[in-house]
Amino acid sequence: MQDMTPAPRPWRGFLPAFAAALTACGGGSATSAPAPAPAAVAASAPAPSNKWALVWSDEFDGSAGTVPNAAHWNYDLGNAENSGWGNHEHQYYTANARNAQLDGAGMLVITAEKAANPGPCWNGAPCGYTSARIHTSNKVNFTYGKVEARMKLPSGQGIWPAFWSLGQTGQWPASGEIDIMEFIGKTPNATYGTAHGTGYSGAQGIGKPRDFGGPVADDFHTYTIVKRVNEIIWYVDGTEYHRLTPASLPAGSPWVFEKPFFVILNLAIGGDWPGAPDATTVLPARMLVDWVRIYKEN
């Protein structure tokens, strides 16, 4: 990042320790020392041109079994420590390579699997699963531009993969949340794009489904947002399906998106929205990420 200027359902990202200035990983985990200032992907809003220049990417090109690049990615950890991530989720997030590693063929693989008591869940019982949630807070962020990932998602009851972003500063929901892609196994033919802010958070988030007309998990797809001043646009495979402007918000609600955001990738199991896994759920479940890219608009 050097030399750069660079629907309705429960809240996707619970951040109980989110302070006025975020200096830890999204999810409220504490750190022992302040993190360095993140490189900004875009310092000011470009004029709309639909001409794009790549300013950052992770192509996940590395040896099989290696973990995500620490220069780009942090880990969120636990479950009970973060109140089930605000959604009564069933997985315990780890930094173990079993849950997030490169496959040696240009893919990041986030794996959710059954586990024997990896740590406590929000309800006091041992969590039954492990998975991973990684993010770029205080390492890579974007204010404006195009942000996208090419991914192949797992399917099954209780499966909940997501590609999303949170405002680098502020307390949720005033910090803002942009869900670039969410998928739940009980609606196998659709993904969802949603925005959250003060007055339109949680179940009142402003979102739309994107109907694929067949199982989402059958193939790779590219999930994108374009973020400009007073505008966010969602795409799947280059086709727009949702657009948000200040005029879209409930009366009196603030537009909270003119600030840097960071990127999050995770694979949750269970929760208020997808429901618990059942006997039909195939585990391990694997979320494949071919690449994540951020562009500025010329």
Mean pLDDT, range 154-169, rounded to an integer? 98
Domain annotation covers residue 31 = no
- Would the pLDDT of 45 be above 60? no
Give the chain's largest Cα–Cα span: 53
pLDDT of residue 24: 26
pLDDT of residue 38: 52
Burial of residue 44 (CB within 10 Å: 0-12, 13-18, 19+) is: exposed
Strand bridging mode 129-131 / 108-114: antiparallel
DSSP single-letter state for residue 200: B
The CATH number assigned to the domain holding 190 equals 2.60.120.200
| Structure tokens belonging to residue 244 | 């948000």
Domain annotation covers residue 190 = yes
- Would the pLDDT of 13 be above 50? no
pLDDT of residue 262: 98
- Would the pLDDT of 267 be above 80? yes
Domain annotation covers residue 14 = no
| Structure tokens belonging to residue 141 | 């962020």
pLDDT of residue 16: 32
| Structure tokens belonging to residue 161 | 């993969």
Query: Is the overall model pTM greater than 0.75, yes or no?
Result: yes
- pLDDT category at 95 given cuts 50, 70, 90 is very high
Strand, coil or helix: what is 216?
Answer: helix
pLDDT of residue 47: 63
Measured between alpha carbons, how far is residue 140 from residues 52, 128, 143, 202, 281 in Å?
Answer: 18, 32, 11, 26, 34
Domain annotation covers residue 16 = no
pLDDT of residue 241: 98
- Would the pLDDT of 248 be above 60? yes
Residue 166 has a CB neighbour count (10 Å cut-off) of 28
Query: ∠ CA 238-100-86 to the nearest 5 degrees?
Result: 80
Measured between alpha carbons, how far is residue 4 from residues 15, 19, 171, 264, 294 in Å?
Answer: 29, 26, 27, 21, 12
Mean pLDDT, range 203-224, rounded to an integer? 98
- Would the pLDDT of 254 be above 70? yes
Measured between alpha carbons, how far is residue 190 from residues 39, 187, 209, 218 in Å?
Answer: 34, 6, 6, 12
Domain annotation covers residue 26 = no
The better pLDDT of the pair 273, 8 is held by 273
DSSP single-letter state for residue 171: S
Measured between alpha carbons, how far is residue 97 from residues 5, 51, 92, 139, 200 in Å?
Answer: 33, 37, 14, 20, 36
Domain annotation covers residue 120 = yes
194, 184 in Cβ contact below 8 A?
A: no
- Would the pLDDT of 102 be above 90? yes
Q: What are the strands of the beta sheet with 190-196, ordered from one edge?
A: 74-76, 133-135, 261-269, 159-167, 177-182, 190-196, 206-211
CA contacts within 13 A on the Cβ side of 111: 18
Mean pLDDT, range 263-288, rounded to an integer? 97
| Structure tokens belonging to residue 204 | 């009142």
> Of 30-44, 62-76, 250-264, which gets the smallest average pLDDT?
30-44
Q: Quote the CA–CA distance of 93 and 277 in Å, as a whole number.
A: 17
Domain annotation covers residue 9 = no
Domain annotation covers residue 25 = no
Q: Which residues are catalytic?
A: 177, 182
| Structural domains counted in the chain | 1
- Would the pLDDT of 130 be above 60? yes
- pLDDT category at 23 given cuts 50, 70, 90 is very low
Percent of the residues in the chain that have a pLDDT greater than 70, as a whole number: 84
- Would the pLDDT of 11 be above 50? no
Q: Quote the CA–CA distance of 128 and 256 in Å, as a whole number.
A: 36
Percent of the residues in the chain that have a pLDDT greater than 90, as a whole number: 83
- pLDDT category at 22 given cuts 50, 70, 90 is very low
Domain with 281 in it: 40-297
